[in-house]
Amino acid sequence: MRCLITGGAGFIGSHLAEALLQRGDTVTVIDNLSTGRVENIAHLKEMKDFTYYIDTIMNKTLMIELVEKCDVIYHLAAAVGVRYVIDHPLETILTNVGGTEMVLSLAHEYGNKKVLIASTSEIYGKDRPGKSVFNENDDRVLGPTSISRWSYSCTKALDEFLALAYFKEKKLPVTIIRFFNTCGPRQTGRYGMVVPRFVRQALANEPITIYGDGKQTRCFTDVSDAVKAVMLLADVQRLYGEAYNIGNPANKVTINALAKRIKELTGSRSPIHHIPYDKAYEKGFEDMRHREPDITKLKRSTKFKPEIEIDELLSRIVMDFKHKPKFT
C-alpha cells in the first residue's frame, strides 16, 4: 500500500509511519515542522520505502503530486496542543480548515483516494452535569467565541463536516478518527501536553506544575495502541463515512495522581505546584473536568483492544526522555 501521511514528522504521524513501514507499506511524509520535528523521523530516512518533504500541505502543486502517487491518505497535519492553539489562533483556524479542504478536494479529484481524517476529543466541548463518558453521537457543548480554546474544537468539527460532506456528495471513502489523550515516546510538552511536561519537570527536579486543582480526570492512550486502531480502521472498507473514538478508558487517572505517579517513577525531588488556569493560559480559560472515551463502536467494528496500561505507558515515556539531551 502506498501511504501519504500529512503531519508525518509529528508525534503520532512518526509512529504511524514507522508501523506502516514495518508491515511493508510505502510511506511518504509531508510536514512543515510547526509542531513536528525532523528528529522524529530521522531513523526512517534510510529506508528504501520512505520519502519525506518539509513543506506545507497548502503547497497545492506538491500535494497534487503526492496524492496522485498514493493509495491512502492519513491526514494528521494540524495545529495541536492547548498552548499552541491559544498562542496561534489564526494559524490554527487557517491550517486546520484550509489544509483539510485541500486534502479532501485533491483526494477526490485525483482518484477518489481513501482518507483518514484525524480529529480530537476536544470535539465534545465543555462539561455537562452527570456526563463524563462520550460516544460518537453525543451532542457538543462549547463556550463563547471569546475563549480561543474553543476555536480548535470548532475547526476540527468543521473538518469532520467537510469530510462527511465529501463522503455524502462525492462518495469519497473517508473515515474520521477522534484521538483521546494520546501519549508516548517522542511527544513534547512544549505545546501543553501534560504527560511529557510532567516527565521533563520531574527528571529535572523542577516543580511539577498542575493547572487547576488537579482533580480533573483523563484517560491516557499509548501511541502504539492508537496507531494500531488507526491502521485497523484504514483496512476495513465498510467503515467509511463514520467517526470513531480512539482511546483507553482503563487508563483513567486524575491529574494529581498522574503527577504523583510520575514523581515516583522518576525518583524525583520535584515539589508539586498548582497554577490557576488564567495564569497558565488566558483569562476565562475553560477546561473539561472529565473526559472518557466510549470505544464500543471501535471495538465492535475492528475488534480493537487497547493493551498498554498506564504504568507501562509512563515508563516508556520516562525512558525516552532519559535518552534525550537535557530532557528537551
Note whether 275 and 215 are within 8 A (CB). Answer: no
The model's confidence at residue 151, banded by pLDDT at 50, 70 and 90, is confident
Domain boundaries, the chain: 2-183+222-247+294-304
Place of cell 488507526: 230
Neighbours of 297 (CB within 10 A): 16
pLDDT at residue number 18? 98
Select, from the ranges 40-44, 81-85, 88-92, the one with the highest average predicted confidence (pLDDT): 40-44
How far, in Å, CA of 128 to CA of 141, rounded? 8
Mean pLDDT on 273-301: 87
Contacts of 127 (CB under 8 A, 6+ apart): 141, 288, 289, 290
* Cα 194 to Cα 72, 101, 262, 269, distances in angstroms: 32, 30, 11, 19
The model's confidence at residue 326, banded by pLDDT at 50, 70 and 90, is low
Q: Tell me which amino acid residue 230 is.
A: V
Degrees to nearest 5, angle at CA 50 with 48 and 52 = 135
Note whether 308 and 248 are within 8 A (CB). Answer: yes
Q: Is the pLDDT of residue 188 over 90?
A: no
Q: Is the pLDDT of residue 80 over 90?
A: no
* 203-240 per-position pLDDT tens digit: 999 999 999 999 999 999 999 999 999 999 999 888 89
pLDDT at residue number 296? 98
The model's confidence at residue 17, banded by pLDDT at 50, 70 and 90, is very high
Q: Is the pLDDT of residue 20 over 70?
A: yes
* 84-134 per-position pLDDT tens digit: 777 777 877 888 899 999 999 999 999 999 999 999 999 999 888 888 899
- Which is the catalytic residue, given 74, 84, 152, 281? 152
Note whether 100 and 160 are within 8 A (CB). Answer: no
Q: What percent of the chain has a predicted confidence (pLDDT) above 90?
A: 77
| 166 carries an active-site annotation | no
Note whether 241 and 168 are within 8 A (CB). Answer: yes
Q: Where are the alpha helices (DSSP H) in 171-275?
A: 194-203, 223-235, 255-266
Q: Is the pLDDT of residue 153 over 70?
A: yes
pLDDT at residue number 145? 86
What is the second-level CATH architecture of the domain 2-183+222-247+294-304?
A: 3-Layer(aba) Sandwich (3.40)
The per-residue pLDDT of the chain, averaged, comes to: 92
Q: Is the pLDDT of residue 287 over 90?
A: no
Q: Indicate the length of the chain as a whole number.
A: 328
Q: Tell me which amino acid residue 78 is.
A: A
94: three-class secondary structure by DSSP: helix
Q: Is the pLDDT of residue 328 over 70?
A: no
pLDDT at residue number 215? 95
How far, in Å, CA of 268 to CA of 260, rounded? 10
Greatest pairwise CA separation for the chain in angstroms: 58
Q: Is the pLDDT of residue 199 over 60?
A: yes
pTM: 0.94
CA R_g for the chain? 19
The model's confidence at residue 325, banded by pLDDT at 50, 70 and 90, is low
Name which of 29, 32, 33 is nearest 18 in CA terms: 29
Q: Are strands 252-254 and 242-246 parallel, antiparallel or unpaired?
A: unpaired
Name which of 315, 311, 187, 206 is nearest 253 in CA terms: 311
Question: In this structure, what C-alpha cell is assigned to residue 247?
Answer: 482511546
How far, in Å, CA of 176 to CA of 160, rounded? 7
